[in-house]
Amino acid sequence: MLPTIALVGRPNVGKSTLFNRLTKTRDALVADLPGLTRDRHYGRGVIGSKPYLVVDTGGFEPLVDSGILKEMARQTLLAIDEADVVIFLVDGRNGLAPQDKVIADRLRKSQRPVLLAVNKTEGMQRAIASAEFHELALGDPLSISSAHGEGVRDLVELALEHFPEPEDEEETSAGKTPKVAIVGRPNVGKSTLVNALLGEERVIAFDQPGTTRDSIYLDLERNGKHYTIIDTAGVRKRGKVFEAVEKFSVIKTMQAIEEANVAILVVDAQEGITEQDAHVSAYILESGRALVVAVNKWDGLEEDKREWVKREIDRKLQFLDFAKFHYISALRKKGLGELFTSVDGAYKAAMAKLSTPQLTRVLEDATMQHQPPISKGIRPKLRYAHQGGSNPPIVVIHGNHVDGIKDSYRRYLAGVFRKAFQLTGTPLRVQFNQGANPFAEPEERKQGEGIVSMRRRKTAERAVMNARRNEEMGRKTKKTPGVVASARTLKKKPTLKK
């Protein structure tokens, strides 16, 4: 089992920067703003001679007894309890703060090994920068720079020196684990749903929009199956995003959707379907991800309001006809079993393997029932189809004159393929490839000549040839009347005078 290192400290001391340095990723949001990180963020450390897990925590405010800061402190305490080693980060440029003393007292009570790291000491004399932190009585302070990497490797080696060398582990099928992103607009219950699935208060669920700011990756085992759950920040419409932190959160959410196999779109039944819900749905459709819609807070609605919400879904989200809708209550853990049954089905459909003979037969049946419309006087001819990719499934159709096929016929074929192969929960993309003319002479390019230049040269050569041909035809036309007249004269018999 890998040792776990927790990064702890007051806000804005560089914990997320150190996390990204240790994992060699950009998974944690980094900005010059205090309180940016709120939930625990896990990653696999790659700096050092031994493998380990590293946990990024929010700014530790141990004396706060209410609000979001209290929830952040509770998450930090949970990270300390499950850690094998704690790295306590302090700010070497701002010096020792009263809050650092309070955190040091808490860490001593935790009975966990603690290493004191004085961050942001680049360009400073290390002995002078760390001198005042001896007052915390947590051993010799280690001067580092998480932004520049100075002293980071020595810090990690010191933290892991008492742990044995890891045994060789067999490769697992982690690459085949479905990744499920929980997405939606702010304050619809995404974090509550994540906690309900995990069975613990793993992420902060607070009655305040924008509580989650970063994308949190979590491992889940349910009914013997393994999943990677991605809790994302709420996505607003582009015109509603003002704060720099929220812009970072939107980017991280989009990255999580692109990385996921299945997206669970959470909507608030009590507020109905809004434009923001349709906006988030558009993000998911553009990325081509499989989709399951969870209508949350369903238990608090009267029967007439429920019928109204269903009509709103049919009217505003009709373009999600390929997805399944589930009416759940994340707070009361109702409807979660059926929800993940649809997640499994959507993942299976997104990764489906479609054989070329079956695709071609379905294409032939579809064109017999509804031929492609005539374009520029020519009806396109579709010859055969094969699979061009998965997640989402891509069907590539080869034929002639396919450039004139409209999007309406493309959607018709996508619906036919989805119905024939029972692909529920995933969008399907159809691509057309124009067949090459086997009798066309290959165009030869001169050395250093581009395609555009070659085509212009060919056009100019054809124009010269046409001009010469027309000139020769004109000459023949002028000569022809005289020739005909002389021939008739020769054939005409002379008349005899009486």
> Percentage of the chain surpassing pLDDT 90?
20
Task: Confirm or deny that 189 is annotated as ligand binding.
Answer: yes
pLDDT at site 240: 45
| Residue 278 annotated as lining a ligand binding site | no
Q: What is the pLDDT of residue 118?
A: 93
Q: For residues 364 and 360, what is the distance between their CA atoms, to the nearest angstrom?
A: 6
Q: Judge whether 120 is annotated as a binding position.
A: yes
Angle at CA of residue 290, ends 288 and 292, nearest 5°: 135
Confirm or deny that 191 is annotated as ligand binding: yes
Q: Is 280 annotated as a binding residue?
A: no
34 C-beta neighbours (distance < 10 Å), count: 11
Contact indicator for 84, 114 with CB cutoff of 8 Å:
no
Residue 423 inside a domain? The answer is yes
| Six-digit token string for 229 | 């759950």
Is 45 annotated among the ligand-binding residues? no
What would the two tokens of residue 325 be?
């809708």
Q: Is 122 annotated as a binding residue?
A: yes
The response to whether 484 counts as a known ligand-binding position is: no
100-117 pLDDT per residue, tens: 888 888 888 888 889 999
Q: Which is nearest to 196 in space by CA: 299, 312, 290, 284?
A: 299
Confirm whether residue 10 is marked as ligand binding: yes
Number of structural domains, the chain? Answer: 3
Kindly state whether residues 210 and 90 are assigned to the same domain. no
Is residue 211 marked as binding?
Answer: no
**64 known member of a binding site:** no
Residue 54 to residue 444: CA distance in whole angstroms: 59
pLDDT in tens, 58-104: 777 666 665 656 666 777 777 787 788 999 999 988 888 888 888 88
Same domain, 210 and 275: yes
Grade residue 11 by pLDDT with cuts at 50, 70 and 90.
Answer: confident
**Residue 493 assigned to a binding site:** no
In this structure, which amino acid lies at residue 414?
A
On whether both 41 and 122 belong to a single domain, the answer is yes
Using the 3D structure, point to which of 328, 350, 372 is the last residue of a domain: 350
250 annotated ligand-binding residue = no
Say if residue 479 carries a ligand binding annotation: no
Label the pairing between strands 179-183 and 225-231. Answer: parallel
Q: Which domain holds residue 367?
A: 356-434
**456 assigned binding-site residue:** no
Token pair for residue 72? 């952040």
16 is an annotated ligand-binding site residue: yes
CA 147 to chain CA centroid, Å, is 27
Which of residues 350, 385, 407 is at a domain's end?
350
Instruction: Check whether 476 has a pLDDT greater than 70.
Output: no
**pLDDT beyond 90 at 292:** yes
Average pLDDT, integer, range 471-496: 57
Mean pLDDT of 459-483: 75
Together in a domain, 89 and 220: no
Judged by average pLDDT, the poorest of 226-235, 247-256, 367-376 is 247-256
| pLDDT value for 67 | 60
Residue 331, pLDDT score? 85
Give 34-60 pLDDT, tens digit per residue: 445 545 677 778 888 888 888 888 777
Tell whether 297 is in a known binding site: yes
Q: Under 8 Å CB-to-CB from 148, ≥6 apart: which residues?
A: 122
Same domain (yes/no): 58, 132:
yes
Q: How confident is the model at residue 64, as a pLDDT?
A: 64
Q: Would residue 30 count as lying in a domain?
A: yes
**297 φψ region: left (φ > 0), alpha (ψ -120 to 50), beta (else):** left
437 is in an annotated binding site: no
Find out whether 400 is annotated in a ligand binding site. Answer: no
Give per-residue pLDDT as tens, 163-211. 877 654 433 334 478 999 888 888 788 888 888 888 776 654 444 444 4
Is 235 within any annotated ligand binding site?
yes
**Strand (E) or helix (H) holding 22:** helix 15-23
119 is in an annotated binding site: yes
Tell me if 322 is assigned to a ligand binding site: no
- The CA-to-CA distance between both ends of the chain, in Å, stands at 134
Does residue 404 have a known ligand-binding role?
A: no
Indicate if 389 and 422 belong to the same structural domain: yes
Average pLDDT over residues 372-387: 88
Q: Is residue 447 part of a domain?
A: no
- 439, 385, 443: which is closest to 414 by C-alpha? 385
Cβ–Cβ under 8 Å, residues 218 and 201: no
Q: Is the pTM of this model over 0.75?
A: no
Tell me if 256 is assigned to some domain: yes
Query: Is 491 inside a domain boundary?
Result: no
- Please state which of the ranges 129-138, 286-295, 447-456 shows the lowest mean pLDDT: 447-456
Which residue, 434, 455, 479, sits at the end of a domain?
Answer: 434
Each residue's pLDDT tens digit, 304-360:
888 998 988 888 888 888 899 999 988 888 888 899 899 999 999 999 999 999 999
Mean pLDDT across the chain, nearest whole number?
A: 79
Give the pLDDT confidence score for residue 356 in this predicted structure: 92
Task: Render pLDDT for 200-215 as a digit per residue (tens, 0 to 9).
Answer: 766 544 444 444 445 6
Give 131's DSSP letter: G
Tokens 């100075």 -> residue: 150
